[in-house]
């Protein structure tokens, strides 16, 4: 069991869901993003997603697109993820890198996996990678004991749901909305998606896309194993710096802890 699954199991034993927070490395600077990630952990985030800036982020909404473009303009590179990973792990939280696959392919799959493991990272979230088209990543992740987090959505067929779950390790990412991040709030369909995923999954199921407030976090935490928040953290960093990120983390963590859990 990878460290992310272990952390989720730990918080489940406390009777709550995990809070997962996303920020892109390099925004506003590499040093500033690392400070903000530490602030998330200090505020109560259980697992940190470190985003790799990419020039064509198809799944990301305008807030994250602006942040990642600024990171690229400021010279952020894929290797900066390892600096962020070390900082997050040092602050006491597991770290996953969230990335579009082209960046890993260009860097070198085996090379990236080895350097991520050496830095203490737990694995990758790959939103645009299909589990039936990633033999090299499956091999590298097994070799370096890394988690593989794949996405399922409302449109995922039962056959592909089963395939995705079988290929995943760490948790399964349930994308609660169709479209890009940060545009709409999480809907009631997310509960059904989690239930469908659990029919074939023994791994934890975490819900992302659309969670912004403590109330929304509490609602999702009532039925999911983890609540993933991205755009709201980027907005907090943009408007108030790391201190605002920590304050938001505390609010969301309180919401998660206040949730009335429904048995899986």
216: helix, strand or coil? helix
Q: Is residue 71 part of a domain?
A: yes
Tell me how far apart the alpha carbons of residues 92 and 43 are, in angstroms, rounded to a whole number: 12
149: helix, strand or coil? strand
**Would you state the structure tokens that stand for residue 118, as one six-digit string?**
């050496």
Interacting residues of 182 by C-beta distance below 8 A, sequence separation 6+: 60, 61, 62, 63, 64, 210, 230, 231, 232, 234
Q: How far is CA 261 from CA 16, 186, 211, 220, 221, in A?
A: 7, 18, 17, 9, 7
Q: Is residue 202 part of a domain?
A: no
DSSP symbol at 60: -
Residue 87 pLDDT greater than 80, yes or no: yes
Catalytic site residue from 35, 46, 60, 166: 60
Q: What is the pLDDT confidence band of residue 178, given thresholds at 50, 70 and 90? A: very low
Residue 179 pLDDT greater than 80, yes or no: no
Q: Is residue 196 part of a domain?
A: no
Strand partners, 96: 49, 123
Tell me how far apart the alpha carbons of residues 94 and 175 are, in angstroms, rounded to a whole number: 21
Question: Which one is predicted more confidently, 33 or 60?
Answer: 33
Q: What is the pLDDT confidence band of residue 182, given thresholds at 50, 70 and 90? A: very low
Q: Is residue 263 part of a domain?
A: no
Tell me how far apart the alpha carbons of residues 222 and 220 are, in angstroms, rounded to a whole number: 5
Please write the tens of the pLDDT for every residue from 126-163: 999 999 989 999 999 999 999 999 999 999 999 999 99
Contact 134, 86 (CB under 8 A): no
Contact 21, 51 (CB under 8 A): no
Q: Is residue 114 part of a domain?
A: yes
Catalytic site residue from 9, 31, 35, 49: 49
Please write the tens of the pLDDT for every residue from 190-239: 999 999 999 999 999 999 988 999 999 999 999 999 999 999 999 999 99
215 CB neighbour count, 10 Å cutoff: 11
**Dihedral of alpha carbons 4, 57, 40, 89, sign:** positive
Q: What is the pLDDT confidence band of residue 187, given thresholds at 50, 70 and 90? A: low
**Dihedral of alpha carbons 247, 248, 250, 251, sign:** positive
Contact 80, 53 (CB under 8 A): no
Q: Is residue 117 part of a domain?
A: yes
Tell me how far apart the alpha carbons of residues 88 and 82 are, in angstroms, rounded to a whole number: 10
Range of the domain at 225: 4-148+208-258
Q: Any catalytic annotation for residue 145?
A: no
Question: Which one is predicted more confidently, 61 or 255?
Answer: 255
Model confidence, pTM: 0.93
Q: Is residue 19 part of a domain?
A: yes
Could you tell me the end-to-end alpha-carbon distance of the chain, in angstroms, rounded to an integer? 20
Q: Any catalytic annotation for residue 49?
A: yes
Q: What's the total number of domains in the chain?
A: 1
What CATH code is carried by the domain that includes residue 221? Answer: 3.20.20.70
pLDDT value at position 2? 57
Please write the tens of the pLDDT for every residue from 74-86: 999 999 999 999 9
Q: Is residue 237 part of a domain?
A: yes
Residue 233's nearest CA partner among 211, 216, 254, 218 is 211
Interacting residues of 99 by C-beta distance below 8 A, sequence separation 6+: 51, 52, 54, 78, 81, 124, 125, 126
């Amino acid at each position: 069991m990878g460290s992310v699954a272990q952390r989720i199991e730990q918080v489940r034993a406390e009777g709550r869901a995990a809070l997962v927070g996303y920020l892109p490395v390099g925004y506003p600077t590499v040093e500033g993003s690392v400070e903000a990630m530490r602030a998330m952990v200090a505020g109560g985030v259980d697992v940190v997603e470190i985003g790799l800036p990419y020039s064509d982020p198809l799944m990301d909404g305008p807030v994250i697109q602006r942040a990642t473009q600024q990171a690229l303009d400021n010279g952020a590179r894929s290797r900066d993820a390892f600096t962020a990973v070390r900082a997050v792990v040092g602050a006491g939280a597991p770290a996953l890198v969230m990335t579009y696959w082209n960046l890993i392919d260009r860097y070198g799959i085996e090379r990236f996996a080895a350097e991520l493991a050496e830095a203490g990272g737990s694995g990758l979230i790959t939103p645009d990678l299909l589990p039936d088209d990633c033999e090299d990543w499956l091999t590298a992740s097994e070799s370096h004991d890394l988690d593989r987090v794949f996405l399922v959505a409302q449109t995922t067929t039962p056959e592909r749901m089963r395939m995705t779950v079988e290929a995943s390790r760490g948790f399964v990412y349930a994308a609660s909305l169709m479209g890009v991040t940060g545009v709409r709030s999480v809907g009631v369909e997310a509960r059904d998606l989690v239930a469908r995923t659990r029919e074939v999954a023994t791994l934890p199921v975490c819900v992302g896309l659309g969670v912004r407030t403590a109330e929304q976090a509490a609602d999702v935490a009532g039925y999911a194993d983890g609540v993933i928040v991205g755009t709201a953290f980027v907005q907090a960093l943009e408007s108030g710096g790391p201190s605002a990120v920590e304050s938001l983390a505390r609010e969301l963590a309180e919401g998660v802890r206040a949730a009335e859990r429904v048995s899986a």
